[in-house]
Structure 1
Amino acid sequence: AGFPPPGPAITCILSLTLKQSLMLSSPLLLFANRRDVRLVDGEGVQGESAIVVSELEDAAAVDFLFDESLIFWTDVSEEAIKQTHWNQSSNSVVVSGLNSPDGLACDWLGKKLYWTDSETNRIEVANLDGTSRKVLVWMDLDQPRAIALNPGQRYMYWTDWGEEPRIERAGMDGSSRKVIVNKNIHWPNGLTIDLVEEKLYWADAKLSFIHRANLDGSAREAVVEGTLTHPFALTLSKETLYWTDWQTRSIHACNKHSGDKTREILSGIYSPMDIQVLEPYRQPYIQTPCSNDNGGCSHLCLLSPLQPFYSCACPTGVQLKADGKTCKPGAEQVLLLARRTDLRRISLDLPDFTDIVLQVHDIRHAIAIDYDPVEGFVYWTDDEVRAIRRSYIDGSNATILVNMDINHPDGIAVDWVARNLYWTDTGTDRIEVTRLNGTSRKILISEDLEEPRAIVLDPVNG
C-alpha cells in the first residue's frame, strides 16, 4: 500500500529507487501488473513497489532498453506495444493493430522489438519506433508466449504452450529454426537466458518446475521442482532467479544453481505478469554486423547465426531486391479485402500472405473495394455511413468522395483508363458513375434493376 499518485511523484520515487538499488547493489525488478507497470527492489527490502506507468488496460509483457532509459510493454486489451522513458510520466504507442501480444523482447544491440502474438500465431519484429514491421515466423505456431533474445550469438528463443508444447530457437532473422525442448513440458510460460553462463531457464506452470539447459536444449536439469503453484514469467540477475506466480500473486526468488534460498520478494500484487531484471549487465554491448551503417540494408538489418551473420529484411509483404540489401518500393501484387469494420491488404509477393490493416478510422460496414494503380488510391463503399470513400494504400489521406443521395452503396469498380468510378446502389436500384475525384456524377442505369450488386469493368475494350 501507500502507492504514490501518478505524475511527478513517480519520477521522484524512481530516481530514489534507482539510487537506493545502486547503493544496495540489489537489482531492480521491472514487472507488468495488468493495470500498471512497476519497479521493486530485488532484495525485497522496502516491501513495496513504485509505479512506473499507471492507468493501463491490460499490461502483459515488458522489456527495456537500458542505454536509452526506455521501457516497453504490451497491452493485450489495447492490442498494442507501448513505451515510456523512465524519467517521464507520458507514454506512447509504438506498434498498434496487434491481436494478443503475449511476449516481448528488446534487441538492445540491433535496436529492434520482437514479439509473439498468440492469436495470429506469429512472431514479428520492428524498429523501436514501430517502423519496418515484419513477420518472421508464421508456420507451425500454436500458442507462442514468452520470447527471449541472445543477440551476442544471434539467436531468439520462444515457448509454445499449444497442442504440442515446446521451446524453439531460430536465428534473429527467422533462419535455422529448431525445436530444442519437447519432452516433459506442458505449459512453458516463463523463459530467460543466462548470458554469462550460456544457459536457458524456463518455468512450467502445469508441471510446477523451473528447469534449465544449454542454449541448444542439451544437458537439461531441474532447478526448482514441485514447490511452485503457477509460475508465469521468469528473469535472472547474477546468481538469482526471480519469477511471478499467478496463484500466490507474488514475486519469488531462489539461487539459480541450486534452487535453494527460496524467498518471497513482494506479495499482494494485483495481477503479476511479465518480469525483467532492469540492470545494464543484462544488456552487454557487443559490436555486430548491423552496428555499422545498418549493415548496408535499406530497412531491417537482422542478426543471423549463418554467415555473414546478418541478413537484410523488408517490411511485411515487400520483397528484397537482387542485391540482397535494398527493399523494393512496396508490394507489387496485392490482394485487397473489405472486412466490414476494416480494410486489409495482403501482399502476394511473399509466401506468408500476412494481412495488414489499413489505418483508416470509422469504417462501419465496408462492402466492396477497388484500386486505382495510377494514383495509388483504394476506393470502397460503406453501407452504414452511406458513402463512397478513398484513401492511399497505407490508409493515409482518407476522404469521402460521394455521400449525397446514396442509399445502400454496394459494388464498386475503377476505370483506371478513363479515370471514372462506377458503383451499384441496392437502395436506389441504380448504377452510377463519377470522375475519380468525385465530380461529374451521372446515373447510368435506373430502369429494370432490382438488386444490383457486384460490378466489374473491362476498360481496355470499353
Structure 2
Amino acid sequence: MYDNIKIYIDMLTLSGLITSLCFCCQVTGFQNKLSLIFSTYGNIKELNLQTGEVMQLQTDIQSRIDTIDYDYRNGYIYFSRYTKSDIQRFQYPELTNAVTVTVARLPVGSVIDPLYNHVYWTERFTRKLYRCNSDGSLKSVILQEDALFALTLDYRNRWLYYSTDGTNKSIRRLKLNDSENQTIINIQSELVTGMSIDNDKDRLYWMEFNNGFLKSSTLNGSSVITVLNTNTNNKNQDIHVYRGNVYCANGNSLLNVTPGVSAHVIYNNTGIIYSVFIHDENHEIRTYT
C-alpha cells in the first residue's frame, strides 16, 4: 500500500514539474512569435507584440505604402508602392531585398488569395481592380467601375470586398467567379481606407478616414455598429482583425481594439502609420470547399 502511495506522490510531483516547465516556457519567450507588420513613409517595420521590440524590415522604399499582406504558403510579404506605381514583395521572416512583382498605376489596396496564389489590387484613379499570379504573371483587369480604394478578401466564401471613392462612397463585394457584384453599404461622404474580416465571427470591419469611426457589419452588410470613435480626423488608415482584436493605424499610433471591451495605444511612431498586418508564425493555411 505504501509503495502505491509513493508512486502516486511521485506522479503528482512529476506532473507539477511538467506544469511548471510549461509555464516557464510561456513566460520566458518560447511561445509562438506574434508580430505586427506596419508601414511608415518609405519603411516597413515589425513590432514584436510579446517583447515590444521594433525592427526595420525594409527601408528606402521611397513611397507611401497603403496595404501589406502576407503569403503564408510561400513566405512573402507583399506591399503596394503608391508613388512608385508597383507591387513588391520580400521574403519574411527570412529577410531578402524587395523585388517588383508587377507594375500598377498608383495602387492602393492589395490582398493575397492564399488558396489560388493570386494577388489582387485596386487602382484609385484608373478605377480598375486587377489580378495576377503571385509571381506577377497573367495580369488581368477583373473589374472597372468607380474610383477604388480599400480591399479585403473573404477567401472561405470567395468574395472580394472593396470600397469606392466616388460621389456616393460605398462598400461593395464581388464574387470571385464574377457571378455577383453587390453594394452592401452606402457610406455616403466617408472614404473607407481600411477593411478586414473576422472569419471566426463572420463580420466585416472598416475604418472611415475623415471622421475616425471604426465600424462593423455582418458579411452581407446588415447589423452595422460603431465599434470605436478614434476622435481624430483625416488620420485614420489601415486595419487588420486577428483573433477578435482589431489593430488600427491611427495617425502616428497603433491601436489595439477589443470590440465592446477596450481600446488602447500599443505603439507611437514619429510619423504617420499607413498599413498594418498581424503575422502569426503558427498560422496554418486551411482549405475550404
**CA distance 1:159–1:21, shift in 2 (3 Å):** farther
Counterpart of 1:268, as a letter, is N
Aligned in 2, Cα 1:41/1:184: closer, same or farther, shift over 3 Å?
farther
Shift, 1:67, TM fit: 2.5
The TM-score with structure 2 as length reference comes to 0.83
Partner in structure 2 of residue 160 of structure 1:
164
Query: SS where residue 191 of structure 1 aligns?
Result: strand
2-side partners of 1:252 and 1:104: how far apart?
22
| SS class of match (1:207) | coil
| Structure 1 residues 298-334: Cα deviation after superposition (integer angstroms, max 9, x where no partner) | xxxxxxxxxxxxxxxxxxxxxxxxxxxxxxxxxxxxx
Question: Paired residues, what number?
Answer: 261
Residues 23-422 of structure 1: pairs in structure 2 closer than 5 A: 23=30, 27-42=34-49, 45-46=51-52, 48-60=53-65, 61-86=67-92, 87-96=94-103, 98-139=104-145, 141-142=146-147, 144-183=148-187, 186-225=190-229, 227-229=231-233, 230-246=235-251, 249-255=252-258, 257-258=259-260, 260-279=261-280, 284-287=285-288
Deviates more, 1:21-30 or 1:199-208: 21-30
Between the aligned partners of 2:120 and 2:27, the Cα distance in structure 1 is 31
Read off the aligned partner of 2:100 and give its amino acid letter. V
Check 1:53–1:157 CA distance in 2 against 1; reply closer, same or farther (3 A cut): same
Whether the 8 Å CA contact 1:33–1:272 is kept in 2: the answer is: yes
Secondary structure at the aligned position of 2:73 is classed as helix
* Rg comparison, structure with higher value: 1
- AA of the residue aligned to 2:59: S
CA distance, structure 2, for counterparts of residue 133 and residue 223 of structure 1: 37
Distance 1:226 1:129, change over 3 A: closer
User: How far apart are residue 227 of structure 1 and its match?
Assistant: 2.8
In 1, Cα distance between the equivalents of 2:28 and 2:174? 35
Conserved 8 A contact 1:185-1:207: no
Q: CA deviation at 1:226?
A: 5.4
Provide the rounded CA distance (Å) in 1 between the counterparts of 2:178 and 2:132.
13
User: For residue 310 of structure 1, what is the aligned residue in structure 2?
Assistant: none
What is aligned with 1:325? none
Call closer, same or farther: CA 1:22–1:148 in 2, change over 3 Å. Answer: farther
- Give 1:17-28 correspondences, 5 Å limit: 23=30, 27-28=34-35
Gaps of 5+ in 1: 1-18, 289-462
State the Cα distance separating 1:148 from its structure 2 match. Answer: 0.3
CA deviation map 1:150-187 (0-9, x unaligned): 11101010112321110000112443000001046612
Residue in 1 that maps onto 2:4: none
Q: Is the Cα contact below 8 Å between 2:191 and 2:208 reproduced in 1?
A: yes
- Code of the aligned partner of 1:261: S
Structure 2, unaligned stretches of length 5 or more?
Answer: 1-25
- Contact 2:34 2:281 (C-alpha < 8 Å) held by counterparts: no
Cα pair 1:104 1:116 within 8 Å, conserved: yes
Identical positions, percent: 17
Query: Does the residue aligned with 1:182 lie in a helix, a strand or coil?
Result: strand
Q: Secondary structure of the residue that 1:277 maps to in structure 2?
A: strand
CA drift at 1:22:
7.1
Do 2:122 and 2:128's aligned partners in 1 also have CA atoms closer than 8 Å? yes
Higher relative contact order (CA 8 A, sep 6+): 2
Conserved? CA contact 1:200–1:213, under 8 Å: yes
Q: What's the RMSD between the two structures over aligned residues?
A: 2.3
